[in-house]
Structure 1
Amino acid sequence: MTTCDHSWLPKASCDGSCVHAGGADAGRRLVVWIRTSVRVVMAVILAPGVPLLAVPIPGRSHVQRFYCRLMLRCFGVRISLSGGPIRNLKGVLVVSGHVSWLDIFTIGAVLPGSFVARADLVEWPAVGRLARVMKVIPIDRGSLRRLPAVVHTVAERLRAGHTVVAFPEGTTWCGLAYGPFRPAMFQAAIDAARPVQPLRLVYRHRDGRPSTIPAFVGEDTLLRSVRRVITARRTVCHVHVGSLQLPGDDRRALAGRCEAVVRAHQELPGAPAHVLAA
Structure 2
Amino acid sequence: MTVTEHAWLPRALCDDSCVRAGGAPPSRRLIAALRAGVRITSALMLLLVVPLLAVPLPGRGRVQRLYCRTFLRCLGVRITVSGGPIRNLRGVLVVSGHVSWVDIFVIGSVLPGAFVARADLVDWPAVGLAARIMKVIPIDRASLRRLPQVVATVAERLRNGQTVVAFPEGTTWCGLAYGQFRPAMFQAAVDSGRPVQPLRLTYHHRDGRPSTVTAFVGDDTLWQSLSRTVRTRVTVVDVEVASLELPGSDRRELAARCEVAVRGQIGRRFEHSHALAG
* Structure 2 SS opposite 1:200: strand
After superposition, residues 251-270 of structure 1 pair within 5 angstroms as 251-264=251-264
Match of 2:276 in 1: none
Read off the aligned partner of 1:106 and give its amino acid letter.
V
Normalised to the residue count of structure 1, the TM-score between the two structures is: 0.93
Conserved 8 A contact 2:99-2:214:
yes
Conserved 8 A contact 2:24-2:211:
no
After superposition, residues 170-249 of structure 1 pair within 5 angstroms as 170-249=170-249
Displacement of 1:5:
1.4
Going from structure 1 to structure 2, the CA distance change for 1:141 and 1:126 (only over 3 Å counts) comes to: same
Displacement of 1:118:
0.6
After superposition, residues 1-278 of structure 1 pair within 5 angstroms as 1-20=1-20, 22-26=23-27, 28-264=28-264
Q: Distance in 2 between matches of 1:154 and 1:214?
A: 27
Conserved 8 A contact 1:196-1:247:
yes
* Structure 2 SS opposite 1:19: helix
Going from structure 1 to structure 2, the CA distance change for 1:266 and 1:222 (only over 3 Å counts) comes to: farther
Conserved 8 A contact 1:25-1:233:
no
Q: Distance in 2 between matches of 1:114 and 1:231?
A: 29
Q: Distance in 2 between matches of 1:219 and 1:38?
A: 27
- 1:194-223 CA-partner distances (Å, limit 9, x unpaired): 000000101001111000111100010001
Going from structure 1 to structure 2, the CA distance change for 1:263 and 1:124 (only over 3 Å counts) comes to: same
Q: Distance in 2 between matches of 1:266 and 1:40?
A: 38
Q: Distance in 2 between matches of 1:98 and 1:265?
A: 19
Read off the aligned partner of 2:223 and give its amino acid letter.
L
Displacement of 1:23:
4.7
Conserved 8 A contact 2:24-2:213:
no
Displacement of 1:38:
1.7
Read off the aligned partner of 1:146 and give its amino acid letter.
R
* Structure 2 SS opposite 1:71: helix
Q: Distance in 2 between matches of 1:35 and 1:9?
A: 38
Structure 1 unpaired stretches of 5+: 268-278
Q: Distance in 2 between matches of 1:105 and 1:112?
A: 9
Displacement of 1:265:
8.9
Q: Distance in 2 between matches of 1:243 and 1:224?
A: 35
How many residue pairs end up in the alignment? 266
Normalised to the residue count of structure 2, the TM-score between the two structures is: 0.93
Q: Distance in 1 between matches of 2:96 and 2:251?
A: 16
Q: Distance in 1 between matches of 2:95 and 2:120?
A: 20
Identity of aligned residues (%): 69
Q: Distance in 1 between matches of 2:120 and 2:17?
A: 25
Displacement of 1:61:
0.4
Conserved 8 A contact 2:44-2:126:
no
Read off the aligned partner of 2:152 and give its amino acid letter.
H
Q: Distance in 2 between matches of 1:24 and 1:52?
A: 37
* Structure 2 SS opposite 1:238: strand
Read off the aligned partner of 1:22 and give its amino acid letter.
G
Going from structure 1 to structure 2, the CA distance change for 1:130 and 1:266 (only over 3 Å counts) comes to: farther
Displacement of 1:56:
0.4
Displacement of 1:45:
1.2
Conserved 8 A contact 2:24-2:205:
no
Displacement of 1:44:
1.6
Conserved 8 A contact 1:240-1:265:
no
Displacement of 1:24:
2.6
Match of 1:274 in 2: none
CA RMSD of aligned residues (A): 1.4
Going from structure 1 to structure 2, the CA distance change for 1:227 and 1:266 (only over 3 Å counts) comes to: farther
Q: Distance in 2 between matches of 1:136 and 1:29?
A: 36
